[in-house]
Amino acid sequence: MQGKRARPAMISFDSTERREFVTGFHKRKNARRAEAVEQQKKKERRAKIRERKADKFALGPERIRLEEIDPTCAAYDVDWIIGNHSDELTPWIPLIAARSSYRTKFMLLPCCFHDFTHKFAQNNIKLGQYKTYITYLEKICQALGFEIDVDVLRIPSTKNVALVARRRAYPVECYAERLAALPELQRQLVQASMLKAKKRAGTSTSEAPPEEEVSFSRRVAQSSHKHR
């Protein structure tokens, strides 16, 4: 026996709303303009606040520089790069340091979990997701040729593990060779993140070349063996 058919919804005509819609184009356009002006004012206020904070923490005649960066190609002639709760930028900081001067060191204090392209979703139930993420970052740093010290900071936070790279695992004579090989390693790291995201989404990855399936651990072992 078939169920009762649902009664169609009643459609009513409202002449007042129609008149308001037809005659209100100019009014709505002005409202959008006013909203855009307000948003621009808020943006400018936030920029001024950032500048004041930069001036507050300036050291002597130097001041903090605020700028957007492209992590796929950024490089700096600096001594230290600090990633303090750097979110999506966290896995890129070792790459930026590897691309920078041989003397460049870095420190990571991870908070939110991100890989190179997506949210980091791996979770070893024995370790928990935070330690799983720390291990993931350690393997990236080692694959890029850094010796990593892990330190637990005395701060009021449960996410208090810092990764500190004070030195390279290879001599300065190998720097040019490692720098030349960096674009290919970067491509592999980014591709590995994309493949994991596809697997989580349940899509096929059969078109990927076999070398893309090489694990981080294997790449680290190959890199360490090459420069011993």
Per residue in 44-57, pLDDT tens? 888 888 777 766 66
Least confident of 38-52, 127-141, 213-227: 213-227
Q: Is the pLDDT of residue 203 over 70?
A: no
- pLDDT tens per residue, range 8-20: 677 777 888 888 8
In sequence order, the 6+-apart residues with CB closer than 8 A to the CB of 82 are 106, 107
Looking at residue 9, the DSSP 8-state letter turns out to be P
d(CA 178, CA 170): 9
The per-residue b/e assignment along 119-139, b for 16 or more CB within 10 angstroms, e otherwise, is ebeeeeeeeeebebbbebbbb
Q: Is it the case that residue 184 has pLDDT exceeding 70?
A: yes
Beta-strand relationship, 146-152 and 161-168: antiparallel
Give the CA count within 13 Å in the CB-facing half-sphere of 172. 5
Give the global pTM: 0.64
Asked whether 144 and 76 are in contact (CB, 8 A), the reply is no
Q: For the chain, first and last CA: distance in Å?
A: 79
53-86: burial string, b at 16+ Cβ within 10 Å, e else: eeeeeeeeeeeeeeeeeebeebbeeeeebebeeb
Give the largest Cα separation in the chain, rounded: 86
Pairing of strands 105-109, 161-168: antiparallel
Per-residue pLDDT at 107: 96
